[in-house]
Structure 1
Amino acid sequence: MAIRRNRSLRPAPVAGRHLDDGHRLTRYADRVAVRCHRCDAPGWVLADWRPYQWTARFRCGSCGAALDSAAGDWVGPVHYSGRRPCGYCGYQWVCACVPGKPGQPVPTVVSGLCPHCGRSSEVSVSGQRVRDGEANDPHFGLPLLLVEPTRAGVLWAYNAAHLEALQEYVVSPLRERAGVSNGSMFSRLPGWMKLGRNRAMMRKAIERLLVKARHDQRS
């Protein structure tokens, strides 16, 4: 029999203590601060979660560029991959994978080298959107607005609420997990963000981004 955890019984917030409640990064994906892919002006991606998919839209207030998830729009990074048996020795598999960018010609066939006989065969490839945890919005691949390089890595966030959650995590010397899986946002943070020696650096970077985020919310 499955046992349902009563989340209301979890301890109330305590100063200096952070409790990972298991929420995912998608909690903050309904309003994402971005830069326009055409003119680099700041703007917002607005999204709604309707089980079981996101409905998102973007319209640049500067150049008028528009994106809509209903149209399948994507302006972020992509990669093309495929595989086939070798056309000479029959070895399985000859694989091919190449990166691509929006606006570039879309390849349908690329050359792949057989690891067995060393000869080249043409491989049919298909494209896939790249969502690799970099500073791009999850709906259209637009570059994020709230990005701050540090000596340890690049800090980025979707919006002010995302930054405030990171700030609460960073300033807490005691970090606990309430029996959650490894899919939570905090469990998936890069290792350098979790190191105590980077706490002061992270706090300052988050504060700078919060000033920027709150200014953009008012404008």
Structure 2
Amino acid sequence: MSTPMPEGRVRQVIAAYKMTRRTDKFLPLILFASFAITIGIFGAAVLILVPSLWLQIIFMVSVFLVGLIVVLFIFGKRAEVAAYSQLEGKPGAAVAVVQNIRKWSITAAVAADRNQNMVHRAVGRAGVVLIAEGSSGLGSMLSSERKRTVRLIGDSPLTEIVIGNSSQTTPLKSLPKKLKSLPKKLNRAEVSALRKRLEAVGGMNIPIPKGPMPKSTNMRVPRQ
């Protein structure tokens, strides 16, 4: 006997659908078409290749489930794209993304200015990562924060990531992949000690973009 989807998950799916629908006008048509095409192809194969009526019925149930899986997969991918597009360019967008990545913690705006340039500090098994987002004047701010952070963390690994869409920066949507690709140089105890050391420094209180954010690879479809 299958267990019903938890109420919280249902609300998450509905919120994700509404969010995606705002920017993806063809979402209902795409989901319906993907379901119909999957059912049509696999259903025709079952009717042609399976002679027994009872076996056809059993296989058609499986075909229906495959169709649902395809729909959920496509929905999850499009929801993720929509979430990133709505976060793009908003102050604190990088924080909203990192907060949804397992085994990483982030302190928002350890450095910021009136032009909404910000440097955030993430901590994980790869060490400390300074994530900068903004425009002009970002380089000097990141350099100053790097020097300050080095004094705080000593020999712990330090990486810098600048959010942007140029060849020398990292797109917001690629941030989870970038963080997960960093070599893991610290064990859990070292990460915990590093976090405690940096907690006292803190950051600034800035509003972080809210909404149903796909959690990248660790989020079950449908979604961030």
Q: TM-score, normalised by structure 2?
A: 0.24
Q: TM-score, normalised by structure 1?
A: 0.25
Higher helix fraction (1 or 2): 2
Higher strand fraction (1 or 2): 1
